Structure 1
Amino acid sequence: MGEYADLPGVRTWYETEGTGDPLVLLHGGFCTNDTWGAQRADLAAAYRVYLPERRAHGHTADVAGPLTYQDMADDTVAFLEEVVGGPAHLVGWSDGGVVALIVAGDRPDLVRKAVAIGANFRPGPECFVEPSMLDAMTPSGPDLAFFRELYEPVSPDGAGHWPVVAEKVIDMWRTQPALTAEDLARVGAPTLVMTGDDDLMTLEHTTALYRAIPDAELAVVPGASHLVPLEKPALVNRLILDHLAQEAVETMMPIRRAETGAPEGAEI
């Protein structure tokens, strides 16, 4: 069961599960908490899991004006401060990953560790493998049918509001996010960047994201798409849990993470 939190930006629906250190799951664009079904039990066995649904998604109403990642990040900051009550781990998928990165850069005091799955830091036309997919998306088209079926039964705005939200999200993807390498360099939380090897975003873009975040880790999951948490849940959950639990990254032959030159005994 869930409940609402009256946050400054929007009255936000959220659910909770488990006990332990706080972990916030940030769903993807057009999605609801249902899409975390393959992760909830495993993560809640180790953490107190919070699952907010962002403005215009799921049980949370739309807000007047365009959708922006910055507004959703600000909502998430308010959620951390007023509901969680302090810093937490952030695990974001797709749009949720973008939101997690913005929060980690804006408010490092509120983010312990972060995981960004299938996330991007530039607009769709700059990073999608097939940018033309944005032109093919319409509120009533087959490409968005799955998401429409998630939205219509639960939205407090009613099923008839779906075309408005669909257009807002598509418009957002065309022009946002617009983060720079300098923005990403402000992310101080230990961050795992994860992607399927056949994701919506090019591998080159994901690699650039990984390289721009200080001391980030990168996981490219083989045989997986943008829906990797659904396709390879056991592996994804293990990667998340390992990242959150580890104290520090220690490898036998560090190159990117080496502080000065090659480590002793690393000659081959």
Structure 2
Amino acid sequence: MGEYVNVGGHRTWCEIQGEGDPVVLLHGGGVTADSWWGQIPALAAHFRVHAPERRGHGRTPDVEGPVTSDLMAGDLIALLETLGTGPVHLVGWSAGATVALRTALRRADLVRSLVLISGGVSRAGSTDADAAILDDTAPLEAMLRPQYEPLSPDGPAHFPVVFAKWLAMWREEPDIGFAALADLPMPLLVMQGDDDGVRICHSAALAGTAPHGQLAVLPGTSHTAPLEKPDLVNRLLLDFLTQPGPPARQFALGALAQAARDHA
């Protein structure tokens, strides 16, 4: 069931289903909460699921001025405080992973556990194919425009405005870096496809740098793993989210992380 939540005078659309501990799903850039169709029912059977749409996405209106992942992390923090969720399991996909990570870094008290799907901490972690998408943007525009126009309260004519903002952000971000992860206190799952827009060595470095990081590489899968293999993604999410705490390990990921950072 979707509804608008008034957050500091700004209307934010949020899909809310289920009961239990709160899980927040952050969609990718330029798409909507509907992209979580394969996860919301499965997770809502165990958790209270919140799937908000960020500023200028889906049914949430745009806000004047440029956008950054840090601004959107601030929006999310305000939303969680307005809803009174307390600490949440936070799951971000693609550009949503950048927002999720920034939220965890800013307000660790609001993040019980963190899942980053197909996200990184620097542009250096992108594959050549991913970088090419931001050079020839016509296919990207053709994919995103039909998702934006029917839903936006700003109207179809506003798409070029938000698309220009997204491109500016995606060409500069993520720009967080590995060092910021060293003190993350919560359990972290890093997930990606084996044919993703993120280099596997980059994700390995990300998971290995965080004190409680885990890595999952999905075979035969690209940047849209939650859509391509929803059952597998759901099994991984439920396994991770229902763990009582960071897993005990026989071998640390530290050495792997250092090697991966050297090549990420």
If the length of structure 2 is used for normalisation, what is the TM-score?
0.91
What one-letter code is carried by the residue in structure 2 that aligns with 1:249?
A: P
Distance 1:113 1:12 in 2: 23
Counterpart residue number, 1:205: 202
Counterpart residue number, 2:185: 188
Counterpart residue number, 2:127: 128
What one-letter code is carried by the residue in structure 2 that aligns with 1:2?
A: G
Q: Secondary structure at the match of 1:59?
A: coil
- The offset of 1:207, in angstroms, is 1.9
Counterpart residue number, 1:93: 93
Distance 1:193 1:208 in 2: 10
CA contact (8 A) 2:189 2:216 kept: yes
Structure 1 position 146 matched with structure 2 position 135: no
- The offset of 1:240, in angstroms, is 0.5
What one-letter code is carried by the residue in structure 1 that aligns with 2:32?
A: T
Counterpart residue number, 1:262: none
- The offset of 1:15, in angstroms, is 1.4
Q: Unaligned regions of 5+ residues in structure 2, if any? A: 256-264
Distance 1:213 1:255 in 2: 11
Distance 1:150 1:35 in 2: 10
- The offset of 1:165, in angstroms, is 0.9
Q: Which has the higher helix share?
A: 2
What one-letter code is carried by the residue in structure 2 that aligns with 1:250?
A: A
Tell me whether 109-118 or 179-188 shows the greater mean CA deviation.
179-188
Counterpart residue number, 1:264: none
Identity of aligned residues (%): 49
CA contact (8 A) 1:22 1:47 kept: yes
State how 1:176-255 maps to structure 2 within 5 Å: 176-247=173-244, 248-251=246-249, 253-255=250-252
Distance 1:242 1:183 in 2: 26
Distance 1:9 1:99 in 2: 21
How many residues align? The count is: 253
Distance 1:229 1:38 in 2: 7
Q: Secondary structure at the match of 1:254?
A: coil
Q: Secondary structure at the match of 2:19?
A: coil
Q: Unaligned regions of 5+ residues in structure 1, if any? A: 259-268
Tell me whether 193-202 or 126-135 shows the greater mean CA deviation.
126-135
